[in-house]
Amino acid sequence: MKKSWKSWIFSKAVPALKSRATPLPLKELAFRAVRFAAACGRSHPISFALRPIAASKRLRTVTGLLVAGMALFLAGYGPLPAGAGDWGGQVSLTVASGGEVPLSTKPGVRLPLRTVEISQKFWLLHPGLDMRAPMGEPIRPIMAGKVKAAEKSWFGYGNMVIVTHSGEYESLYGHLSKISVTKGQEVGQDTIIGDVGSTGRSTGPHLHLEIHENGKSINPALILGI
């Protein structure tokens, strides 16, 4: 017959309590195990341990606030680029420079890299596209515009460039190894704004691209036509 968890605790704890050779810390641990088993009564140990939280309004409130805070943290921190890894839902797309794979973008829009391999797609906790590329590959803006920010950092997006475009659009380029433009500079579609890198919160060389419309993140794949 299968022993219950209480029988198992008693079978281990009682010999430890009776043995003279048992070290004092182990005897104390055995005593606490017996006392816990007795206090549980007929309850499962997990439900017994969680019972104070369920019974106390204050503890329920605190627990709810902690869960809500964790959700907000994940919503705020999670969307930052996660790196060149394949987790978070992978869409694999390779565009060869020789035109082997036909690809069309919206009028006035270009791909930021010579070749594109998407390692992480746009989703709830990742408001952009991760494009795996060789370290140092030149990056060009998807549309002509003006540099809103050109910042260096060891955290988050790492070295980052933001370009504003007409029609309330902005594009963000993260994890750059090198920044080649300055704030306020006018850029065209052929302007090199920086090089692919792995700065900030990144696990390998890639470009993190975000596109914002009126301050709201939209799926870059819809604009780039990929």
CA atoms within 13 A on the CB side of 191: 19
| pLDDT of res. 83 | 45
Q: How would you classify the pairing of strands 169-176 and 206-213? A: antiparallel
| pLDDT of res. 40 | 60
| pLDDT of res. 52 | 62
Neighbouring residues of 141: CB distance < 8 A, sequence distance ≥ 6? 112, 163, 171, 173, 187, 188, 189, 191, 193
pTM score, whole prediction: 0.57
Radius of gyration of the chain from its Cα atoms, rounded to whole angstroms: 28
Residue 118 has pLDDT above 70, yes or no: yes
Residue 127 has pLDDT above 50, yes or no: yes
More confident of the two residues 93 and 173:
173
Which range, 34-38, 178-182, 203-207, is most confident? 178-182
The tokens for 16 are 């430890």
pLDDT in tens, 164-192: 998 789 999 999 999 999 999 999 999 99
Residue 1 has pLDDT above 70, yes or no: no
Contact 128, 159 (CB under 8 A): no
Residue 30 has pLDDT above 50, yes or no: yes
| pLDDT of res. 11 | 72
- Among 178, 183, 191, which residue's Cα sits nearest to residue 152? 178
Lowest pLDDT segment from 44-53, 102-111, 143-152: 44-53
Domain ranges of the chain: 5-77, 94-224
Q: In 3-state terms, what secondary structure has residue 15? A: helix
CATH superfamily of 94-224: Glucose Permease (Domain IIA) (2.70.70.10)
Neighbouring residues of 61: CB distance < 8 A, sequence distance ≥ 6? none
